[in-house]
Amino acid sequence: MKLKMVFAAASIGVLLSQNPGIQRTVVHRSDISVPGREAVIARVEIAAAARAGRHTHPGEEISYILEGEGEILIEGQPPRNVKAGDGFVIPAGAKHDAHNTGTQPLKLVGVYVRIGAITLGLRRLLKDGDRWQRNFLEHMRSNSLRTPEVTAHC
């Protein structure tokens, strides 16, 4: 549980790192039926004439425009003009940007399907498995055969 909370906090921090003209507020997150994935629902507001900034997500982004108008730029696709009532999907890994083309804030709800915190933690442990194994064995030697407390080395 502790491991899951550490990775969840780190991943939400990445989601929330942003340009000054954009504000993202996570309103809910939950595991979904696809193993190893979770959904993060965020309220997003982009100031007039501001851009989200070119970026990617490891999973899909599914968004619905609540207010305002803008332009969605997805690498390899023509620009898409959007307004209140429109929705769009950005494929996993696609470089993209959102630009508020109006005079009022562009408000939307974004759902980000991403790798779950536990899956991310396991991938990190496997990637850094040698160091983790060394630490585990050191702990076992120094504590005889007691059960070790497993922690992530992030």
Report if residue 63 sits inside a domain. Answer: yes
Residue type, 8: A
Report if residue 66 sits inside a domain. Answer: yes
Q: In the chain, pLDDT over 90 holds for what percent of residues?
A: 53
What CATH number should be reported for the domain holding residue 61? 2.60.120.10
Task: Give the pLDDT confidence score for residue 72 in this predicted structure.
Answer: 98
Q: What tens digit of pLDDT does each residue of 80-133 get?
A: 999 999 999 999 999 999 999 999 999 999 999 987 765 555 555 556 556 655
Report if residue 137 sits inside a domain. Answer: no
Provide CB contacts within 8 A for 69, sequence distance 6+: 81, 82, 83, 84, 100, 101, 102, 106
Which ranges of 42-127 does DSSP label H, i.e. alpha helix?
117-127
Residue 143 pLDDT exceeds 60: no
Task: Give the pLDDT confidence score for residue 103 in this predicted structure.
Answer: 97
Domain range holding 87? 2-117
- Residues 47, 101: Cα–Cα separation, whole Å: 10
Task: Give the pLDDT confidence score for residue 131 in this predicted structure.
Answer: 63
Mean pLDDT of the chain: 78
The better pLDDT of the pair 7, 56 is held by 56
pTM (2 d.p.): 0.66
Report if residue 147 sits inside a domain. Answer: no
Provide the domain count of the chain.
Answer: 1
